Amino acid sequence: MDDEILSIGIDIGTSTSQMIISKLRIKNEKSSFSIPQIVITSREVIYRSPIIFTPHSKDNLLDIIMLQKFIDNNLKIAHVNKSNITSGAAIITGESARKENAEMVAKLIAASSGEFVVSTAGPDLESIVAGRGSGAEKFSKLTHQNTINFDIGGGTTNLACFLDGLVTDTACFDIGGRHLKFDSQQIINYISPKALKIIQKEKLNLSLNRKLDSNSLHQLAKIFVQVLENAVNLGTPSPYFDFLITNKSLKNPQPEAISFSGGIAKILKEPQENPYLYGDMGIILAEEISKSKLMTLKQFSAKEDIRATVIGAGTSIMQLSGSTISYNSSTLPVRNIPVLYTSPKTISKDLSEKLPWFDLNEFDTIAISMSGIKNPTFKELIQLKNDLLNNLTELIKKKRKLIILTKEDNAKALGQLLQNALARGYPYICLDEISAKDGDYLDIAKPIVNGSVLPVSIKTLIFE
């Protein structure tokens, strides 16, 4: 019989905010005589909130009170009690992730929205989540084509590359529809710092408290679009390419198909006659994209446009551990644990170099993620156990939780060896079939399906 859990997705973006509630069905696909194989069999969105403009306080910070009211009201409309929500994510995207109070808002919203709702931010994860929500991940798996999703919002454009359903690369650029805003009289009241530098260098007729010049605004949009073309090896090289990179560009983009999601994608699907309708440059940016070299590439219609990120956050953030796991139940749940990546062959070197990165006064503990050993001998597992314990003496001395992740399916055996070597009742978790890298953060919920698997979220927490 399938188990069902409710998951929430909350997206607080540069321009807009929204939430969704989805139902995840979980099933053991093995017989009762076999090692369980617990999988998520389906994801169904059962409620979509209205899309609102992201509320800000007078000092231009995110308005936590209005955001909390928005979430609480929509939970009532959906007839969902937050105590019944057991997974999901509150993701802060684009320019909103750079607000001074962004980290606090994400954590408060997540903590007050359900039992295991994670707080997350950062351009790489945002790219992946939007790509999943748009359907690009699934399209690449079905067609075996190198597929790139452009998620174009108010502040940033996030690119995610997928091949055969796997993420191969991500990128992010400071390009979006809210880099220049104006009032109903077309008087400019906001220009982003990067847009202002381009305007000044190109001597465009655009300045604060003056009526916007349509030709100059189109010129600014064309500069943005040229950079997006360059991002996938199209068009004449732009002198602003490096300047507009948020974190990194794609290493070797070779798109066989592309898709668009985000607010600009909605405008591409539903062109507006009035280019000034939304009080920003979004409609003009969409118009220039529609005439660009990007349109010469094969496209598939994204399953979701403006809701791609929130649907990805609500349906794909959580993953399940393998079933051959070992843990002390009193250790759970854990939140916001930084990850240190190593391999069985380089444990001593990696831990001696990387453990000093983390201040144990700031973090509860550190999760050790390993590639693992495929089909290890007992002797190899003993050696792995010894290497871990010998290099984690500081954590153990401070009685911090010991969290080990292995990609290979041998966490139960390794966990039992660790348990036998540690003091009785020592808090530990050993999970398999989970991959995480340096810079990731880890949340682990209480067990489900009779304790056979643990819900896990691998995420980023990058607030600038």
pLDDT tens profile 137-161: 999 999 999 999 999 999 999 999 9
**Per-residue pLDDT at 19:** 94
Do domains 3-121 and 126-304 share one topology? The answer is: yes
**Per-residue pLDDT at 37:** 55
In 396-448, at which residue ranges do the beta strands (DSSP E only) sit?
Answer: 402-406, 428-432, 441-444
In 380-454, at which residue ranges do the beta strands (DSSP E only) sit?
Answer: 402-406, 428-432, 441-444
**Per-residue pLDDT at 116:** 60
Q: Considering the domain 3-121 in this protein, what is its CATH number?
A: 3.30.420.40
Tokens of 180: 């220049």
**Whole-number Å distance between alpha carbons of 237 and 293:** 13
**Per-residue pLDDT at 136:** 93
Q: Which of 371, 304, 333 is nearest to 457 (CA)?
A: 333
**Whole-number Å distance between alpha carbons of 404 and 415:** 8
Tokens of 369: 């993620």
**Per-residue pLDDT at 222:** 98
Peptide bond into 455 cis (omega under 30): no
Residue type, position 464, single letter: E
**Per-residue pLDDT at 323:** 62
**Per-residue pLDDT at 2:** 65
Positive or negative: CA dihedral 420, 423, 427, 428: negative
| DSSP labels, 357-378 | GS-TTTSS--EEEE---SS--H
**Whole-number Å distance between alpha carbons of 78 and 221:** 39
Structural contact between residues 264 and 285, judged by C-beta atoms closer than 8 angstroms? yes
**Whole-number Å distance between alpha carbons of 311 and 188:** 33
**Per-residue pLDDT at 458:** 81
**Per-residue pLDDT at 460:** 65
Tokens of 185: 């009289």
Q: Which of 277, 257, 254 is nearest to 266 (CA)?
A: 277
The full set of domain ranges for the chain reads 3-121, 126-304, 324-459
**Per-residue pLDDT at 322:** 66
Listed as ranges, residues in the chain with pLDDT below 50 are 33-36, 463
Give the fold, CATH level 3, of 126-304: Nucleotidyltransferase; domain 5 (3.30.420)
What is the CB neighbour count within 10 angstroms for residue 341?
Answer: 18
**Per-residue pLDDT at 226:** 98
Alpha-carbon distance values, 102 to 55, 65, 120, 338, 362 (Å): 13, 13, 10, 19, 19
**Per-residue pLDDT at 463:** 47
Tokens of 219: 């010129």
What crossing angle do the helices spanning 347-354 and 378-391 adopt, rounded to 10°? 20
**Per-residue pLDDT at 236:** 96
**Whole-number Å distance between alpha carbons of 53 and 18:** 9
**Whole-number Å distance between alpha carbons of 247 and 251:** 12
**Per-residue pLDDT at 239:** 98
In 49-97, at which residue ranges do the beta strands (DSSP E only) sit?
Answer: 52-53, 85-92
What is the phi-psi region of residue 250: left when phi exceeds 0, alpha when psi lies from -120 to 50, beta otherwise? beta
Cβ within 8 Å of residue 154, ≥6 positions away: 13, 14, 15, 16, 94, 95, 176, 177, 178, 263, 280, 282
